[in-house]
Chain A
């Protein structure tokens, strides 16, 4: 294959994502992001339907949750998302983006600490995943999300190491999805009463 043919093939591969090419970051990441957004939408709709079927049980169990602690966790996550966005702005202006990403990871980790405190309180009260339908769904949704937070922090660490603009755009896109999904989980599980 000639150099020109190799270049053409590479160009075709680069432009082979169709509509996904129009999104910020690597299109592969967007396949994951869109898939995860769909999964969480189904989980939240399922939770809402289960609550409609068992309103008294859900209201009694929800009373054990601490909305203030979850609110603090929300503020931690949006602050971490803001720092991640600032990292991208920094690298576009010739910076490394590393201080902002390190701060985003640190504050993102505080979300996990708050989640640990919340779970710890529940376990100490004898509440577990098998307590009732509410807590099964609560631990499933929040636990699955917390797993995404862990994955997101790892992704941020990778893009801080390989800190070109495309990598940071891709990594922070995943982190913002984690942020966005929590913004929808927070009112559904903790605030609607």
Chain B
């Protein structure tokens, strides 16, 4: 099995995992869901888009893009939840 085939298998498995995790209550759930999304996005970048063959700067920029979006969404979600609980 080649790298892109394993990447596809991982993407399907992670999608099923995120569907399962979404039903779990608790503060860890949003972070886990978005960590899984980030792992999937980086898998697409590495194996399908072959960004590993681009320069270090591009690899870093695109990884930072994925991590920054997921961290921003998770951060807003968690902070808003804490405000709602306090209010």
B27 contacts the other chain (Cβ, under 8 Å)? no
**Docked CA distance A52–B76 (Å):** 7
A176 contacts the other chain (Cβ, under 8 Å)? yes
**Docked CA distance A130–B78 (Å):** 27
Secondary structure type dominating chain A contacts: helix
B34 to chain A, nearest CB (A): 6
Q: Are B48 and A85 closer than 8 Å at their CB atoms?
A: yes
A82 contacts the other chain (Cβ, under 8 Å)? yes
Q: Are A24 and B51 closer than 8 Å at their CB atoms?
A: yes
User: What 1/0 mask marks residues of chain A from 32 to 44 whose CB sits below 8 Å from any chain B CB?
Assistant: 0000010001001
Q: Are A24 and B69 closer than 8 Å at their CB atoms?
A: no
The tally of residues in A whose CB lies under 8 Å from a CB in B reads: 41
Taking CB atoms, residues of chain A closer than 8 Å to B28 are: none
In-complex Cβ contact of A45 among B16, B18, B36, B73 (8 A): B73
A147 contacts the other chain (Cβ, under 8 Å)? no
User: What 1/0 mask marks residues of chain A from 70 to 101 whose CB sits below 8 Å from any chain B CB?
Assistant: 01001100110110111001000000000000
A115 contacts the other chain (Cβ, under 8 Å)? no
Taking CB atoms, residues of chain B closer than 8 Å to A49 are: 76
Taking CB atoms, residues of chain B closer than 8 Å to A85 are: 4, 7, 47-48
A9 contacts the other chain (Cβ, under 8 Å)? no
User: What 1/0 mask marks residues of chain B from 35 to 79 whose CB sits below 8 Å from any chain A CB?
Assistant: 011001100110111110111011000000110111011001101
Taking CB atoms, residues of chain B closer than 8 Å to A177 are: 49
Secondary structure type dominating chain B contacts: helix
Taking CB atoms, residues of chain B closer than 8 Å to A79 are: 8, 12
A173 contacts the other chain (Cβ, under 8 Å)? yes
Q: Are A86 and B4 closer than 8 Å at their CB atoms?
A: yes
Q: Are A176 and B48 closer than 8 Å at their CB atoms?
A: yes
Q: Are B73 and A81 closer than 8 Å at their CB atoms?
A: no
A167 to chain B, nearest CB (A): 15
A178 to chain B, nearest CB (A): 10
Taking CB atoms, residues of chain A closer than 8 Å to B37 are: 183-184, 186-187
Q: Are B15 and A45 closer than 8 Å at their CB atoms?
A: no
Taking CB atoms, residues of chain B closer than 8 Å to A19 are: 55, 57-58
Taking CB atoms, residues of chain B closer than 8 Å to A172 are: 48
Known: A44-B73, A45-B76, A173-B49. 13 other contacts (CB 8 A): A19-B58, A23-B58, A41-B65, A52-B83, A55-B84, A71-B16, A75-B15, A78-B44, A82-B5, A82-B8, A82-B11, A85-B48, A187-B22
User: Please, could you name 5 A-B residue pairs with CB atoms under 8 Å apart, sorted by A?
Assistant: A22-B54, A176-B44, A187-B22, A191-B33, A192-B77
